[in-house]
Structure 1
Amino acid sequence: MKLTLGDIYAVPLPNKFFAAIKIINISGKDTLVKTTPYIDTSIPEITNPLLQETLRNNRFFYNNLPAIKWVNGEFPKGFIFIGNIPLTDIERKWRSSTFSESWSFVGHDVFDEWRYIHDREALEKEIEELEKKEMMDENIKKHKEVKLMNDSDFWTLVSLINGTKQIKEGIQLLITELAKLKVKEIKLFEETLSFKLYLLDTKDHACYFGDHSFREEKPNTFSVDLFLYARCAAVSRGEKIYNEILDNPKLMPKNEFLEELLDVTSAAYEEKKGKEFNFNATYDYETFSNKNGWS
């Protein structure tokens, strides 16, 4: 379809609404599109005065930003030609740094602005759910890209912590066994340990680890460090108990901390190579790193 500057099109929106857009610039395969303030359940006449205006976005973080964007891709067959209104001098001068790879949501700004005024609670909930899903998808993608130690091997090594009478002796035994592994295996252990701690980094788990647990009414009593050390204690309990704690936060160890677990990998590497262990795991185990767990 050949577009002409000044062309006005009706855009079908959800709930049987229509928006109206205007073509204000064309550069190669890119088109600069303006969304008008028009929104109704019928297609506007070309004489409708709203088609002369420009929608201003004011929802959420927007601050009276004009609804103008560059769009790339094939023009949608579902858009309905209304007519042509010659460009104004102001429209000829419009510039935009906003760019879209498709026409899928062109014109939808006016629907979102309408909902922000008339249906804000539902809109905010939808956006929140969408952000959670995007974050979850990103975490899944990241997890697939991260190589972890075989679960059986990891938990066999962790079981050494409680295989002696004293925890300190168990920690040293774990360090000794890790130092016997190849460097890449030591790194795999660190990746896996970090991931296990990351999964426990949730508000629900933070509410049940003892005297310094998270409480909405007393946020200053919460210790981010002790929560991390409590998660270390949970990991040290072994695979079965760890998985039970993961599913049921109320089973978190109470006032039990094992900060030493955080240093076993670096200690093993130094014992093996005689130098400092400079390695950053993909998953950050520091408290509040698991955004999904605290949302």
Structure 2
Amino acid sequence: MHLTLGDIFAVPLPNKFFAAIKIINIVEKDILVKTTPYIDTFLPSITNPILKETLRNNRFFYNNTPAIKWVNGEFPKEFVFIGNIPLTDQERNWRSSTFSETWSYVGYDVYDEWRYIHDREALEKEIEEQEQKDMIIDEDNKKHKDVKLMNNSDFWKLMSLIHSTRQIKEGIQLLITELAKLKVKEIKLFEETLSFKLYLLDTKEHACNIGEHSFREEKPNTFSVDLFLYARCAAVSKGEKIYNEILDIPKLMPKNEFLEELLDVASEAYEEKKGKEFIFNTTYDKETFSNKEGWS
């Protein structure tokens, strides 16, 4: 789809709600998107004055933060074009350091803000349940061959650096730099945790849903074990929430997205820190077909 500055789109939300977003900058394949305060159960009219406003996030730790982010990836077909409203001078000058490689949750800020006001108890319960899941994941060393893993929250904070800039390469370098500041033991824990999460995605169902290079029973010899590994890296890089959804629903695997560079961040961080080669064998093998149960 050809996008133009000022384009307004309605975004389907849970419970039959709609949000409204505005395209305010385009740099090659990167799109700067603004979420408006609009939320309702019907499509907005282009004449609705609220479409000219910018949503401000105030839930939980937010402090009047404008809901603006850079987004990359294929534009969703389910977004509904509403019309075009020319950019204001303020919109032309908006800047954002927030970057996402998926459109999956674009527009959801207004839904979470609405819930914070009207359905806070349920929202807080969901967050609490997610925190409980995190605690369970942090106990993986007790459930999986006594493997010691990095604290789940710490791991995902580090991973979030990958998409904190507009360029993936810059994000990868940020991750390497931060890892190099850690103790050698923590670098190894990061590598162990990354390998484990990649191992969990090593299933036939996930391999069948990576796009053009998906695994096909009728043509198993055309399947690339390396590309599937790189696709799993892309899935992990998208963050905790999306990773967990992909883990549960293989059809959500990124399509034709690969991030081979993620495989080397721990070794490069170690070499930057110690000046020598990183030699470390993880308990779980991240290579394709290592998860025997996932391919049975």
Q: Deviations over 1:233-274 (max 9, x none)?
A: 000000000000000000000000000000000000000000
Query: Matched residues in 2 for 1:141 and 1:149: separation?
Result: 13
- Which amino acid is 2:204 matched to? K
Structure 1 residues 215 and 283, CA gap change in structure 2 (3 angstroms): same
Q: Supply the distance in 2 between the matched residues of 1:226 and 1:278 (Cα, whole angstroms).
A: 24
Counterpart position of 2:211: 210
- The answer to whether the 8 A contact 2:149-2:192 is kept is yes
Are the aligned partners of 2:141 and 2:148 in contact in 1 as well (CA < 8 Å)? no
Distance 1:206 1:215 in 2: 9
What is the match of residue 199 of structure 1? 200
CA pair 141-289 structure 1, distance change in 2 beyond 3 A: farther
Taking structure 2 as the reference length, the TM-score comes to 0.52
Residue 230 of structure 2 is matched in structure 1 by 229
* Equivalent residues of 2:172, 2:262 under 8 A apart: yes
**How many Å apart are 1:220 and its aligned residue?**
2.1
Higher Cα Rg: structure 1 or 2? Answer: 1
Structural RMSD (CA):
1.4
Q: How many equivalent pairs are there?
A: 157
Following superposition, the deviation at residue 221 of structure 1 comes to 2.1
Note the residue ranges of structure 1 that are not aligned, 5 or more in a row: 1-138
Q: Is the 8 A contact 2:141 2:149 kept in 1?
A: no
Deviation at 1:141, TM superposition (A): 7.2
Q: Distance in 1 between matches of 2:185 and 2:245?
A: 29
What is the identity, as a one-letter code, of the residue corresponding to 1:268?
Answer: A
Instruction: Give the aligned partner of residue 244 of structure 1.
Output: 245
- 2:155 corresponding residue in structure 1: 154
Indicate how the Cα distance of structure 1 residues 146 and 238 shifts in structure 2: closer, same or farther if over 3 A, else same: same
Q: Report the alpha carbon displacement of residue 219 of structure 1 after superposing the two structures with TM.
A: 1.1
Identity %: 87
Residues 141 and 178 of structure 1: CA distance in aligned 2, closer, same or farther (over 3 Å): closer
Q: What's the offset of the Cα at 1:143?
A: 1.3
Matches of 1:162 and 1:189 in 2, distance apart? 18
**Residue 213 of structure 1 contacts residue 221 of structure 1 at CA under 8 Å; is this kept in 2?**
no
TM-superposed deviation, 1:222 = 1.0
Q: Following the alignment from structure 1 to structure 2, what is the Cα–Cα distance between the partners of residues 286 and 245?
A: 18
Alignment partner of 1:275 is 2:291: no
The residue number in structure 2 matching 1:183 is 184
Distance between the aligned counterparts of 1:141 and 1:173, measured in 2?
Answer: 31
| Aligned residues of 2:161 and 2:172 also touching (Cα < 8 A) | yes
Asked whether the 8 Å contact 2:141–2:147 carries over to 1, the reply is no
Task: Provide the C-alpha distance between the structure 1 equivalents of 2:174 and 2:231, rounded to a whole number of angstroms.
Answer: 21
Amino acid at match of 1:162: H
Residue 24 of structure 1 corresponds to which residue in structure 2?
A: none
Unaligned stretches of 5+ in structure 2? Answer: 1-139
Aligned to 1:53: none
Residue 142 of structure 1: how far off its partner (Å): 7.0
> Structure 2 counterpart of 1:270, which letter?
E
Q: Measure the CA separation in 1 of the matches of 2:263 and 2:141.
A: 24
How far 1:157 moved relative to its partner? 0.1
Structure 2 residue matching 1:210: 3-state secondary structure: coil
Aligned match of 1:163: 164
- 1:161 & 1:250 partners in 2: Cα distance? 23
Flag the 1:142–1:277 CA change in 2: closer, same or farther, 3 A: farther
Matched, 1:288 2:289: yes
List aligned pairs for 1:61-80, cutoff 5 A: none
**For 1:236 and 1:199, how far apart are their aligned partners in 2?**
14
CA drift at 1:200: 0.0
Contact residue 176 and residue 268 of structure 2 kept, 8 A = yes
Alignment partners' CA distance in 2, 1:155 and 1:212: 27
SS in 2 for 1:268: helix
Secondary structure (helix, strand or coil) at the match of 1:145 reads coil
Q: Cα–Cα, structure 1 residues 280 and 248, in superposed 2: closer, same or farther, change >3 Å?
A: same
Separation in 1 of the partners of 2:228 and 2:267? 21
In the alignment, what sits opposite 1:52?
none
Structure 1 letter corresponding to 2:275? G
Residues 128-155 of structure 1 deviation map (CA, whole Å, 9 limit, x = unaligned): xxxxxxxxxxx99771411000000000
- Runs of at least 4 residues off by over 3 Å: 139-142
